């Protein structure tokens, strides 16, 4: 569970959303998922277990995403497509 404003996508909202992620070491083009995971890791809002290696370009990649909806501080509903991992698999 993370605050929308901590996602690193520039949204101003006090809401908390569920951000599901994959972990690994394959490289791919940066998506909203990559930008958010990198931001959350830098802010230490995600703390991997000692046996995990979590990078913003993971090997275990989402093969399906979920959109996340929330209300911003202007009382407007926002939806971010392909934000949260719905299924993971090693790509590459």
- 44 exposure class (CB count in 10 Å sphere: 0-12, 13-18, 19+): exposed
- 68 exposure class (CB count in 10 Å sphere: 0-12, 13-18, 19+): buried
7 three-class SS: helix
Q: Which CATH number covers residue 42?
A: 2.10.90.10
Q: Which domain covers residue 56, as residue numbers?
A: 2-91
Residue 22 has a pLDDT of: 86
Q: Which residue, among 24, 84, 87, has the nearest Cα to 60 in the 3D structure?
A: 24
Number of domain units in the chain: 1
Residues in the chain with pLDDT < 70? 24-30, 54-59, 90-92
Residue 92 has a pLDDT of: 41
0.85 exceeded by pTM: no
Residue 28 has a pLDDT of: 57
Residue 29 has a pLDDT of: 55
């Amino acid at each position: 569970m993370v605050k929308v404003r901590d996602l690193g996508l520039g949204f101003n909202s006090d809401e908390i959303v569920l951000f599901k992620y994959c972990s690994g070491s394959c490289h791919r083009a940066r998506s909203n998922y990559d930008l958010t995971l990198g931001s959350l890791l830098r802010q230490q809002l995600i703390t991997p277990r000692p046996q995990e290696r979590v990078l913003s370009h993971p090997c275990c990649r989402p093969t399906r995403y979920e959109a996340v909806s929330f209300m911003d501080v202007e009382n407007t509903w926002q939806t971010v497509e392909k934000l949260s991992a719905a299924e993971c698999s090693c790509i590459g």
